Structure 1
């Protein structure tokens, strides 16, 4: 029996220097050879992908995979599109899209929400603060896929409305935009919400404690910001299902352990076939099976 080819992961990163974090996770996940490309733009993708496709026979292509990363999620999405457009017939390799950790972080947050809500989000009233950002959009998208009602908050209402329109086209429309520009608007937008996820920038408080304590229906609070001041006031970054005044709370580090498990499992999954594309939904399902 022939010896399997060594595994190769081709890291396509839109930043000038490829992410060291993503490279380390790849090595710790068992990747034998890591080819790192920085400053990648969509118009350069085809030749890079051809290099992956035409150097091994079809039977060995499952030992080659592509990781699309970088801090610019929009550019990463364009790179992913060009990668998949280059494939033809059986000349394809598996791909993981996780620019800026958007998909693995969102999946980990949604798994925490599922745990806190008793395993089901269908019909549950949820909210995503900073829902127009890359992680917030994906959390909202996954909530919608799971049947939740989703209130999507932003300091700029027009941005929230635009994101809701985009998500409605994807998920069938179970989204409501609201403004978070002041505490009254925030409290009104969160009225009746049972699960809230704060997906904002580092060091920005999105949900003050006095507003959080005024929400009688709130059961689960998940904060994805680890840099003080935290996104949800009164929650610790290390919280992992901790009771905080009748609310089950997760902090960024509490979610981060799950994110890392999902990230490693997703990389390993790439080498089981040559036709896998892992985006938000697929990564969430991997997380659900990984954590049982």
Structure 2
């Protein structure tokens, strides 16, 4: 009898996201086992419990998924799990805390695709991330910075919170990020005045950019919003908008469900590749970004 495909799912929270459990099952894993309240110090021991019991052949059918809600902690947990492997007992790994890695990757890939319609790319763009202290905002900022953009993290809590998040995230991932205040309407409008791209990663149901705010965004090229709960995070950007002209501006708008479709395809592909890999793989947000780019390129080539 062939050994089953098993995915062990670690989260520092009380419970694993049902969304991720469903995604794992749909990617072909036969046993999906979630573990809650897994701290950083427990990762090495649990990883070795998962690898030594299956033998060299069984590890090819074993994976570990790292969730939670902290984008930086998930990166540390991924490194800890990777360091705990003992050849030839090496299993595939993937981190996607709160879907932040695949959502951020999808968001930035969609923005890049929209910029291409203007004959431009991410390099050299001034990108403002509203809700930049959350997991999606931080990772979207890192991906954009790695692609050559100048990135500013904005926080409704003001400049101190924004600069703290920017410094912490930049140090963790080896990029340059800047903080900018989003503490009131005037601060938001100041940040929009020179923005080429705005990424709205604010909490669901919070409008980060009003129609009046947009009148101050004279240089804006692309506005992307991951908030699917009314009101829209950026006024005028509908959830289904896919590089649709944003009224009152020269920008293109990208809505939450357009981004969400790319996020779904990205996460599904990565989980499926993990399961099918003959040799162990390790996936993080950089891999998610390349996968999202690839899916969008295929879609464009097919005329979609």
Cα RMSD of the aligned pairs, angstroms, is: 2.0
Between the two proteins, the alignment pairs up a number of residues equal to 289
Matched, 1:264 2:268: yes
| Deviation by residue 1:111-165 (Cα, 9 ceiling, x = unmatched) | 1110111162111121111111111010010000000111221122112112222
SS in 2 for 1:117: helix
SS in 2 for 1:158: helix
Partner of 1:80: 78
Q: Which residue of the other structure, out of 275, 282, 290, is the alignment partner of 2:287? A: 282
TM-score (norm 1): 0.91
- Structure 2, unmatched stretches of 5+, are 298-304
| Structure 1 outlier segments of 4+, above 6 Å | none
TM-score (norm 2): 0.88
CA distance in 2, matches of 1:96, 1:88: 18
Q: Residues 65-214 of structure 1: matches in 2 within 5 Å?
A: 65-73=63-71, 75-118=73-116, 120-155=121-156, 156-169=158-171, 170-173=173-176, 175-214=177-216
CA distance in 1, matches of 2:174, 2:219: 25
CA distance in 2, matches of 1:152, 1:15: 26
CA distance in 2, matches of 1:134, 1:210: 27
CA distance in 1, matches of 2:2, 2:290: 28
Q: How far is the alpha carbon of 1:218 from its aligned partner?
A: 0.6
Closer, same or farther: CA 153–47 of 1 in aligned 2, 3 Å: same
Partner of 1:22: 20
Q: How far is the alpha carbon of 1:82 from its aligned partner?
A: 3.0
Given that residues 65 and 274 in structure 1 are in contact (C-alpha distance below 8 angstroms), is that contact kept between their aligned partners in structure 2?
Answer: no
| Deviation by residue 1:12-62 (Cα, 9 ceiling, x = unmatched) | 123323221111111111112212222322333333212221122224422
Matched, 1:58 2:59: no
Q: In terms of mean alpha carbon deviation, does 275-284 or 252-261 score higher? A: 275-284
Given that residues 72 and 169 in structure 2 are in contact (C-alpha distance below 8 angstroms), is that contact kept between their aligned partners in structure 1?
Answer: no
CA distance in 2, matches of 1:65, 1:222: 33
Q: How far is the alpha carbon of 1:4 from its aligned partner?
A: 5.7
- Structure 1, unmatched stretches of 5+, are none
